[in-house]
Amino acid sequence: MSVTASSPFSCHSCLSWFAALLFASAAPAAEFELNGHKFTVPDGFVVEHVAGQPLVDRPVSADFDERGRLYVTDSSGSNEHVDIQVKKRPHKIRRLEDTDSDGVFDKSTVYADKLMFPEGSLWFDGSLYVAAPPEIWKFTDSDDDGVAEKREVWFDGKTLTHCANDLHGPHLGPDGWMYWCKGAFAEQTYERAGKKPWETKAAHIFRRRPEGGPIEHVMTGGMDNPVEVVFSPGGERFFTTTFIVHPNQGNRDGLLHAVYGGAYGKDHGALGNHPRTGELMPVLAHLGAAAPCGLVRLESDGLGRDHRNNILACLFNMHKITRHVLAKHGATFTSETSDLLVSDNLDFHPTDVLEDADGSVIVVDTGGWFRLCCPTSQLEKADVLGGIYRIRRADAKPVSDPRGQIIAWKDRNAEELAELLNDERFAVRNQARQRIGKRGANAVESLKQVLGSSNDSHHRMQAVWALTWIDDAKARAAVRSALADSDETVRQAALHSISVRQDKLAANKLATMIERGPAHNRRAAAEALGRLGSSPDMPKLLAAVPTAMHRGDDATDEVDRFLEHSLIFAAMELNDASTLRKFIQSDNARIRRAALIALDQMEGDDHLQPADIQPLLTSDNTLLNETAWWIAEKHPDWGNAVVEAFRVELQQPPREVTLLERLGDRLRRFAGSAAVQEVMADALADPKASDSVRLAVLNAMASSRQKPMPAAWAAPLHNHLSGSNDIIRASLTALNQLSDGKLDDNTIKRLKSVAGDEQKDAEIRLRSLNLLPKGSRQITPASLRFVCSELTINSSVTNRALAVDLLTSTPLESHQLQHVARELPRTGVMELQPLMTMFAKSNDAQVGAVLVASLLDAPAATSLFPDRLEEQLAGFGESVVVKAEPLLAKIEQENQSKLQRVEDILALLPNADIRRGIRVFQDTKASCLACHRRGYIGGNIGPDLNRIGQIRTERVLLESILFPNLSFVRSYEPVAIVTDDGRVYNGAIRDETDDTITLQLDAQKTVQLAKSAIEERKQGTVSIMPAGLEKQLTPQDLADLVKYLKEG
C-alpha cells in the first residue's frame, strides 16, 4: 500500500554539506514553530517538518538505505499488556521516500506489518533488522516492490517482561559485528562451546556477526534498560540507559563508555555473580530522569566542524536532543553536555536521531501515545501523533550525490573502493567499507597499500576497519602492521580489530603496547590481550597496573579506572590461577590488589581462599585493607575469616560516623556466621562500648534479618531494652526484625514495663506494644486512648503506622472497636484504609452504626472504594447499610468531581507560593518526605523528586497526586504476591536475589519473602502511595505543593 502526500514545510537544500562554523553553547538561540511545537535550536540552525500523517503516525525508530529511503517503525498506539501485543502484533514498518528530492518525504509504503512493539531498526546489506521483543527480525524485500516478503528471526532472546524492555537494537559496529542491548531482569541462557551454559539476569550489550555464530557479551550492568549503542572512530562503545544509579539527587539515567568486561550500575541483585574488577564502572554523563532513547555519533561536518564526532541523544522525558562533546581523559572520556533541540510541547517525545547523508540530522518524535511503564501523563494520547523533523544549518551548501548513487559500484575494483574509503561523504565511505569487505582476500592488497602510502590518518583508519570485515590471514597481518601507525586512532582501530578477530599472532605486540603510550591504546591492548593471550602475558599485565594513572587537575596522580579495569579483566580472562597466585604476595600494593581481585573473580572454582586475605583485613595499608574487605563481602560464608578483624575493630572502633556505618554494614553481611554473631553479642555486653558502637551493632542485627534469632543475641537484646531512647528504639527494631513472635517471660515483662511508661517516647511505647505476643497484650482503656492518640495526621508517619499495626493485629472487643471508630475523623488516608480491615472482622450493628457516623465526618473517607465499603457494611445488617447511603453518595460525588478538582487547583497556580509548598512537602499531613527525596533530605521509597519539574508538567504532577494508581514510575511498579500459606502482599520490589524478594509494603514496612514460598507473582494494580492523600490538604496546599515540585 502506498500513500502520497505533500507538505507545506520544505527543506531548501537537504542534499548538502555544511560549511564549518564554530558554535558555542552560549550562542543566541533560534526558534521555529512547526506542527504545534516551538523548537529552540542554536542560532544559525533550521528545523523543518519532513514527515507526518498520513505518511506515518507514531514513528519510533528509523534508518536509511543506500538510496536514501527511510525505514520507519510505526506504532499502532497500543499500550495493551505485552502478552496481548505479542499475539496481536499491531505495529508496522513504513518505507518513506522523497521522490522529488526537496528534503521532504512524500511517499509511504507499508514495508511490513504484524509486528510486535518495535525497539530499534538497522538497514544492512539489503535487509532491515528490527528489535521486536523477544526477537530481532530480519526483513528482506527481494523484488524491491516496497514490501518485505521474507521474514526471519535473526535472534531470539526468549524473554518478554511487562515493560517490553528486554531488547533494543541492533546497531552495526565499524568492526562489522551487530550489537544489541538486553534490558529488564528476566533470566536468559546462552550456550557456550566447551563450557556450561551461561545464565544471566543482568543487563548487557551483546554482539555477534551478521551471518550468525557465537554471541559475546560486551558489558554487564544492573541498569533497567540500556537502549542504543554508538561507536567512536577508533571503535570505543557508548550507550544510553535508564536507572544507571538508584534515583538520588536528580540522578538516574546516563550516557556511558562501555568497555569490554565492564560491570556497571546500579548495584543490586541482578548483577549476581558477574565478575568485577573493583567498584562499578563510572558514568560518563548523568542525564537525570530523562528516559534516553536514540543515539548517534555525527560522522560529518554537516552541523559544523566542531560537531563532528559529537554524540546526540534523545531524551524522551525532557522533550529534547542533547549534544555531547567528548574529550579524552585517561583511558576514558569526559562529556560537555548542552541542548541541541528543545520543544516546548510536552507531547514531543524524541525516540530516535540519525544523520542523513547530507550531514543534516533527522529527529523522530513518536508523539503522545506511549505510556507502557513510562508515566509522562495519566492519560493515553494515541490521538497525539508524532512526526519526523530535520535539523540543518541555514547556510548549508549542496553536496553532490551524497550517497554515491551515481557511482558504478559493481564496476569498481578493489583499489578504487579503497580510495572511496577516504571520500568526504560519510555514506559513501561506509558503503565502500561494506563492499570491499565482501571482496574478501582479493581486496587485502589494496587496503595494505592504503595503510602503507596514505598520508591521511582517517583513510588509514577506514582501511583497518575494512580489513576487519575480511576473514583472512593476510587481512590479520595487515591489521597487525597498523599497530605501528603514527596515529593513535588508527592504532585504536587496529587494537579493536585484533580483539574481535582474536588474532593470536598479535600477542607479542600487544604485550609491549600495554606498557607505554596513550592510555586509550594501552587499555584496548589489554582488552585484546585478555581475549587472545596466554599465561606468559600475565606478569606483563600485572606489572602495568601501577602505571594505570593519570594526572589530575591539581597535579596529583589518580587511578585510571578504565585502564586498570582492562588490565585486571585481561588477567582474569587468561584464566591461569597458578600464575596469578604468585602475585598475591607482591611487594607492590597495587599489583597485589589486582592479583587478589583477578584470582577471586575469575571464572571457575574458588581460586582464592579466606586465608589469602585474612591478614589484610587488619592491615595498615589502606588500599590492601579495603581490597580485602571488598573481596570478603563477596563471600558472606567467610565469617570465620573476618571474625578476628571484627573483634579488633569493635574493641578499637572508629570515631567517624561514616566508618561506623561501614562497620555496621560489614557486620550485617556476615551476620549469618555463628562466630560473627558471638562477636556482635560480646560487643553489646562490653561495658566499655559507647552508644555509637552499640547502635551500629544493633542496627546490623536488625538489618541482617536472621531468623530464627541467633541464640547469642537474645540476652544482649533484652538487656538493651533499657538505656537511652536511641538504644531502646534500636533494640526494639532488632527484636521486631528477628523475632518469630516467641519471647521469653523476662523479655515480655520488660516490654510491658516500657509500654506502660508514660515518660517514654511514644514511638518506643508503640514498638513495645507491637512486639508483645497477642496473648500477652492487655489493651486497657488508658493504653487504647494512647494508641488512638497517635492515629492523628499530626503524629509522625512512623507512629501512625505503628498504631495501625497494633490495632489491626490485636483482637478487640466491640466497645474497643467503637472507641477506635470515633477516632477515624482525625486519621489520614494511610491509616484509614488498613484500619477498615479491622472492622471487617465484626458484625455488631452498634459497631457498624458508630463506624458509619464517624466516616461521615472523616475527610479521608472519600478515598475508600465504594463497592468494597458497601460490601463490608452489609455485614453489620440492613439498618447500617441504610445509614451508610449518604456516605456512599458522598464518595460517589467526590469521585465524579475529581477531574473538575484538577482544573480548580490548576487555576490556583498563579497565586501559589514555593515557600508554602516546601512546608506542605515536609509536613506530617501528607508525609511526602517519608517516601520521596527532595534536596538532601527525604526517603527513598518512592521516586526521587529533585528534577521532577524538568520532565513533568504541573498537570501531570497534580494527576500523580490525585490518581496514584493510574500509572507507575519505572522500577516502582507494584507487584502482587501470593505465598503458599495464602497470604497476599502488594508492594514495590526493593531488592531481589536468587533466593528472596524484598517488598516495600508502605512508607514504613518491608517484608522479605523466600522465593520458594511464593505461589503466584503478578503485576499489581495498586500503588504503595495511597489514593486520597489530598484529602488532608486544601486546594491551595496542593497548588503550593505542585508549584514547589515544578519550580523549587
Long-range Cβ pairs for the range 687-692 (8 Å, 24+): 689/650, 690/653, 691/723, 691/724, 691/726, 691/727, 692/653, 692/657, 692/660
Q: What is the CATH number of the domain that holds 954?
A: 1.10.760.10
Domain endpoint, select from 398, 422, 452: 398
Give the pLDDT of residue 966: 63
Q: Does residue 520 lie in a domain region?
A: no
DSSP symbol at 440: G
In a domain, 218, yes or no: yes
Q: Can you read off the three cell numbers belonging to residue 634?
A: 563477596
- pLDDT attached to residue 868: 86
**Which domain CATH number covers 995?**
2.30.30.100
986 and 931 in a single domain? The answer is no
Question: How confident is the model over 861-908, as pLDDT tens digits?
Answer: 888 888 889 999 999 999 999 999 999 998 888 877 777 888 888 898
Nearest to 770 by CA among 728, 812, 731, 802: 802
Is residue 666 situated within a structural domain? no
Q: What is the predicted pLDDT for the residue at 378?
A: 41
Q: Is residue 693 part of a domain?
A: no
Domain limit, last residue, from 353, 378, 398: 398
The reported pLDDT for the residue numbered 374 is 63
Measure CA 1024 to chain center. Answer: 20
Instruction: Tell me, yes or no, whether 912 and 1015 share the same domain.
Output: no
87 and 149 housed in the same domain? yes
Q: 288 is written with which cell numbers?
A: 537525570
693, 660 contact by CB (below 8 A): yes
Q: Percentages helix, strand, coil for the chain, rounded to the nearest 5?
A: 40, 25, 35
Task: Establish if 88 belongs to a structural domain.
Answer: yes
Same domain? 944 vs 1003: no
- Spatial neighbors of 474 by CB under 8 A, at least 6 apart, are 441, 444, 445
CB 415 within 8 A of CB 432: no
Same-domain check for residues 1013 and 922: no
CATH number of the domain encompassing residue 202: 2.120.10.30
Is residue 175 in a domain?
A: yes
Query: Do 388 and 362 share a structural domain?
Result: yes
Residue 78 CB: number of other CB atoms within 10 A?
19
Same domain (yes/no): 958, 1013: no
Q: What is the C-alpha to C-alpha distance for residues 849 and 418, in angstroms, rounded to an integer?
A: 90
Prediction pTM value: 0.84
Low-confidence residues of the chain: pLDDT under 50: 1-26, 375-378, 555
Residue 194 to residue 972: CA distance in whole angstroms: 40
Report the number of distinct structural domains present in the chain: 3
Query: pLDDT, tens digit, for every residue of 309-351?
Result: 999 999 999 999 999 999 999 999 999 999 999 999 989 999 9
The verdict on residue 11 lying in a domain is yes
Closest to 141 in 3D by CA, of 99, 103, 94, 175: 94
pLDDT of residue 739: 87
Check whether residue 933 and residue 991 sit in a common domain.
Answer: no
* CB within 8 Å of 1036: residues ≥ 6 apart: 908, 912, 916
Boundaries of domain holding 946: 906-964+1026-1047
| Rounded distance between C-alpha atoms, residue 805 and residue 799, angstroms | 10
Please check whether residues 204 and 114 belong to one and the same domain: yes
Do 15 and 115 belong to one domain?
yes
Instruction: Please indicate, yes or no, whether residues 159 and 257 belong to a single structural domain of this protein.
Output: yes
Specify the amino acid at residue 473: A
Report pLDDT for 1021.
67
Which residues lie across from 167 on neighbouring strands? 182
**214 domain-assigned:** yes
Domain boundary residue, one of 398, 414, 433? 398
Q: Are residues 1013 and 1032 in the same domain?
A: no
Q: How far apart are CA 664 and CA 695, in angstroms?
A: 9
